[in-house]
Structure 1
Amino acid sequence: PFSSWLQNATDLSTRQLCVFLGATLTAVGLILLAFWAFLWVRKLFVRRRALSFATNDDEQETTSTRGLTELGV
């Protein structure tokens, strides 16, 4: 009886260990995935902001150049 109880306990703890490791690895994977997605979105927004700044600078420069050209400078 004792050996069968020990066998059941060993099986149970092995199963629990597998479940625990699976859950831990899943949680770590999801955290890493969320962190990677956050960095990707941030990079996308920074690039878009840089593009919009460059576009605004170009528009302002074009406008001021056009104004100087109209003044004959």
Structure 2
Amino acid sequence: MIVMEGIEWLDVNESLPDDEMTVLLYHPTLNEPVWLGYFNQHFFYDVMGDQHPNGAVTHWAEMPAGPEGDL
């Protein structure tokens, strides 16, 4: 069993990730609302490079560090 640190979700109206930093994104109207993406100047993109309109992504979180040591 692996226990991971908690994920802190940040409101996009209060803070934004650094440009081009891969983060977890929350888009509440999608069937799968949590996915990987990044912010670039004024818009959020998924890892495939598709742009998501302003207001669609409501929260973001830094990527968790992952497990330590041998698995």
Task: Calculate the TM-score normalised by the size of structure 1.
Answer: 0.13
| Higher share of residues assigned helix | 1
Question: Rg larger in 1 or in 2?
Answer: 1
Query: When you count strand as a share of all residues, which structure comes out higher?
Result: 2
TM-score norm. by structure 2 comes to 0.13
